[in-house]
Structure 1
Amino acid sequence: MYMHLIKMIWNRKRANGLIIAEVAIAFVVIFAVAVLSIRNYNLMQIPLGFEYDNMWRLQVMKSGAWDGSTDGETFQQIVAAVEQLPEVDNLSLLSNATFRNWTSTRSFQVDDKFVFYYMNFFDDRAANNFDMTLLEGRWFGPQDSNQNYDAVLVNKTFVEKFYPNGDVLGKNIVKIDPDEIDREQTEQIVVGVFDDFRQFGELVPQSPYVFFRVDAEQNKRNLGIEISLNPNVDEVFEQRLLTMLRGLAPEYSYSFTSWANSRDSQLRQTTTPLAIFGVIAAFLILMVAMGLFGVLWQNVSTRTHEIGLRRALGASASGIHRQIMSELIIVTLIGVLIAFIGLVQLPVLGVFQELDWSLFWLSFIAALVFMVSLSALCAFYPGKVATGYSPSEALHYE
C-alpha cells in the first residue's frame, strides 16, 4: 500500500514538490523554536547558586579615575557607615555585578589543554551573604592574607572540565611561564569548590567560574557593596541611604539597585528577541499551514473523478480519507528527511557548542510530532469533504 502511495506521490511530483519545500523550511523553523525552548527550559531548572531576594547593590562612582589610596580610604568609611544601619542584615564586596553582562575572563594553554574561565572578586563574607553552597574545602578567610599565593575558589563546572579525574584542592590553576622572568608570577591555589554562581542569570549556560579573594581591610578597588536588607524595610530607606551617603562623601555619585530588578531587566532583554523570533515563526507556520491546506484542497478537488470511480468500485469513504491523509503525511516526512540531512550536520560539525546530541534529538522529535500533527490537521477536512460525495455526484463533478 505504501509503495503505491509513494508511486502516486511521484506521479504528481510537481504539485508535491512545492509542499515538500514548504515542509522542509517550516521544519527548520520549528526545530529552531524547539531547540531554544527546550534549552531555556532546561537552563531555568538549574539553581542560580545564590539568593537574590532582599539583595541590593550599592555602587560608588567617581567622574575621574579611581585612586586606590585616597578613594580607597573613603570607600572604607562608606562601607563602615552602611554596615551600621539597622536595616542592613549583612554586607559584602563584589566586583562584577549579578544579572549584568560585566565579564572578566582568563585563558591560557597548558600542554594540550585550553583553560578558559570567568573570574570575579569578592571578600570573605560574600559567600555567606549570597547563601552559596560549598562542596569541598573552605571559603576564604583571614588565613589567606599575606601569603605567597593567591587563594581562589572554583565552581563545580570548572572541576568537571579541567580536573575530572583528580582532587583540585591545593592545586595551582594559573600557568607559570618560565620565559617571562621579568614578570612577578604568583600561584593561584584552590582552597574550596562551590556549587555554582550563575552571575549572568538563568538563561546563560553554566561555565567554569573562579573567585579571587579581596581583603576588605586592604582593598583599593572600587567594588560593589552588596547589601542584604531586612524584609520589612520601608520604601523611603533608599532615599535616606543616598542622602546619608551624599552628606558623608558628596564628591561621589551613587546607584542603589535591587538584584531582583536587575534579574527582571536581564530576563526581558534576553527573552524579547526570543519572543520576536517566536512571533515570526508562528506567522511562518501559519502561512505554511494555509499553503498546505490550500494545495491539498486543490489537489483533492482535481481528483474528484478518481475518488468517485474508487467509490463506485467499492472503496469506503473512510479508506479514501485515510489514503489522502497518508499521502500528505508521507510528503511531510519526505520534507522532514530533506531538512534532517541539513540539520544533522550542526552537531556533527559542532557548529553550535550548546547543541549536543541530547538537545538535538529532543528538538527533532518535538518538531517532527508538531509537523506531522499539522499536516494531518490540514489534510483532515479537505479529505472529509471530498469523500462526502456520492459516487454518482463525483463521477459527474466538473
Structure 2
Amino acid sequence: MIKHLFKLIWNKKKQNFLLITEMFVSFIVMFAVFTLIVYYYNNYKQPMGFDYDNVWVANYTPPPNIQSNDSAQLFHDVLEKMVKSMPEVVDMSFMSNNVPFSMSTSNTEISYGDHRNVRTNIYTAEDSYKDVLNFKILEGRWFTNADIVKGRDIPIVINKKLKEELFGNETATGKIIGENMIDKSQQSARYRVIGVADNLKDKGSYQAIENGMYRNIDTGAMHWVGNIVLKVKPNVDAAFEGKLFKTLSNAIGTSIEIEHFDKKLVTKNRIMLVPMIILLIVAGFLIINVSLGLFGVLWYNINKRKSEIGLRRAVGASGSSVSNQLVGEALVLATISLILGLFFAVQFPLLNVFDLASNIYLWAIAFSVLFIYVLVIICALYPGKQAAAIYPAVALHEE
C-alpha cells in the first residue's frame, strides 16, 4: 500500500513539488517557533531565587557637586539614614544601575585556570542587598563592610551558575579569579571568592540564568551609584510613595523615578515575548496558506479523479479505503517534506547552534513533526470523506 502511494506521488511529482516545498518551509518555521517556546518554558520553570514582592527601586542622578570620596560617603550615609528612618521601610541598599528587571547590564570577562574569557554580569551593592532581596547563600558567606579594605584581592560573591562553570564540583570559597582588562595597559583585577549565592533570575521570567558576581560598594564607587533598592512593608499605599519621592527630591535635588519590581517584571516579560508574538503571527499566516493549499489540492484531486474513485468503488472498494488512500497520500507528501526538514533541523543540536541545550532542539523537532502530521490529517479528512461519498454509478456516468 505504501509503495503504491509513493508511486502515485512520484507520477505527479511536478504537481506535488510546490506542496512539499510549502510543508517543508512550514516545518522549518514551526521548528523555530517551538524552539523558542520550549526555551522560554524551560526558563520559566526555573525559580526566581529571590523575593521581589514589596521591593521598590528609586533611580536618581548623583549630585554633580560631590567631588571627594569623603563627601560622597557622607552624602550616602545621610540619605540612608533618612530612608531607613521611615517606618514603612524594612531595609534598603544602594546599587549599580543593573538592578533586577532593568534594561541596564554591566558585565566583564574573567579567567580561572583553563577557563578563559568567561563572560559574567557584575553587580555592585551594599552588604544589606542580600536581606532586601532575601536570597540564599549556598557556600561561604556574604560580604560585609569589614571587607571594604584596600588590598590586592577584591572579595566577591558569585552565583551558582558561575561557580559550576569555573570550579565544577570543587569548593569555590577562597579561590582567586582574574578579570580580563580591555585596556591591556591597566593592571588586571583579582577577585577572591568568599561565597556562592543561589541563582537569581533577575532578567525576567523567560530569560535564562546568567553568570553573576557581586561586590561591595567602596568609596570610589559612591560617585556614580544612583539606585536605591528598598524593601517596604506590605500594603503600603500611594501616599507613602509620594512621601518617599518628596524626601528624596529634597535631599538629592535631581529627578527621581520610583519603580516597583513586580511592575518592572511585567514590563520586562512583555518585551521578552515580542519576538515570540511576531514569530507566531508569521507562522500563523504561513500555516493558513499551507492549509488552504493542501485542502485545495486534495479537493482538486477528488474532482479530477472521480472516474478512478468510481471504478475502485465499482470493483468493491469501500468508502473508508478510498478516504484512507487520500489521507495516506497527504501523509506521504508530509513525510517527504519532513525528511528534508529533519536533515536541517538535526544540525542545530549537533553543531550546538545558539549555545542552547540539545534537549530544547529535540523537543522542538518532536513538536514540529507532530504539528505537521496533525495539520495534514485535519486538512485531508474532509476531502477524504467527500471522496468516500462518491457513488460508482454517478462517477462512471459523468465520465
Q: Same fold (TM over 0.5)?
A: yes
Question: Quick one: percent identity of the two aligned structures?
Answer: 31
Residue pair 1:124, 1:215 contacting (<8 A) in 2 also: no
- Please, which of 200, 208, 211 is the counterpart of residue 211 of structure 2? 208
Residue pair 1:123, 1:216 contacting (<8 A) in 2 also: no
Residue pair 2:141, 2:195 contacting (<8 A) in 1 also: yes
User: Partners in 2 of 1:236 and 1:280 — Cα distance?
Assistant: 46
User: Partners in 1 of 2:63 and 2:221 — Cα distance?
Assistant: 23
Residue pair 2:123, 2:214 contacting (<8 A) in 1 also: yes
Q: How many residues align?
A: 394
Q: TM-score, normalised by structure 1?
A: 0.92
How many Å apart are 1:280 and its aligned residue?
2.1
User: Partners in 1 of 2:341 and 2:41 — Cα distance?
Assistant: 24
Do structure 1's residue 306 and structure 2's residue 312 form an aligned pair? no
**1:176 to 1:270, Cα distance in 2 relative to 1, 3 A:** closer
Residue pair 1:79, 1:225 contacting (<8 A) in 2 also: no
Residue pair 2:95, 2:126 contacting (<8 A) in 1 also: yes
3-state DSSP class of the match of 1:347?
helix
Q: TM-score, normalised by structure 2?
A: 0.92
- Please, which of 154, 157, 166 is the counterpart of residue 158 of structure 2? 154
3-state DSSP class of the match of 1:322?
helix
Do structure 1's residue 222 and structure 2's residue 216 form an aligned pair? no
How many Å apart are 1:63 and its aligned residue?
7.3
For residues 211-241 of structure 1, the C-alpha deviation after alignment (integer angstroms, 9 at most, x for no partner) is 1122589944424111111112121111112
User: Partners in 2 of 1:75 and 1:175 — Cα distance?
Assistant: 28
3-state DSSP class of the match of 2:142?
coil
Q: How does 1:52-71 map to 2 (within 5 A)?
A: 52-62=52-62, 64=64, 67=67, 69=69, 70-71=71-72
Residue pair 1:133, 1:195 contacting (<8 A) in 2 also: yes
**1:285 to 1:218, Cα distance in 2 relative to 1, 3 A:** closer
The match for 2:2 is 2
Give the gaps of 5 or more residues in structure 2: none
For residues 272-305 of structure 1, the C-alpha deviation after alignment (integer angstroms, 9 at most, x for no partner) is 3321221221121111111110011101221111
The match for 1:393 is 394
**1:189 to 1:109, Cα distance in 2 relative to 1, 3 A:** closer
How many Å apart are 1:324 and its aligned residue?
0.9
Residue pair 1:107, 1:116 contacting (<8 A) in 2 also: yes
The match for 1:384 is 385
- Please, which of 267, 270, 273 is the counterpart of residue 268 of structure 1? 270
The match for 2:331 is 329
* One-letter identity of the residue aligned with 1:263: L
Residue pair 2:155, 2:215 contacting (<8 A) in 1 also: yes
For residues 110-167 of structure 1, the C-alpha deviation after alignment (integer angstroms, 9 at most, x for no partner) is 6643222111111111112101111111111244232632111111111111111422
* One-letter identity of the residue aligned with 1:334: I
For residues 293-323 of structure 1, the C-alpha deviation after alignment (integer angstroms, 9 at most, x for no partner) is 0011101221111111111111111111111
How many Å apart are 1:246 and its aligned residue?
2.7
Residue pair 1:150, 1:188 contacting (<8 A) in 2 also: yes
User: Partners in 1 of 2:63 and 2:290 — Cα distance?
Assistant: 56
- Please, which of 248, 251, 261 is the counterpart of residue 251 of structure 2? 248
User: Partners in 2 of 1:67 and 1:176 — Cα distance?
Assistant: 29
3-state DSSP class of the match of 2:122?
strand
Residue pair 1:62, 1:253 contacting (<8 A) in 2 also: no
The match for 2:192 is 189
User: Partners in 2 of 1:147 and 1:192 — Cα distance?
Assistant: 19
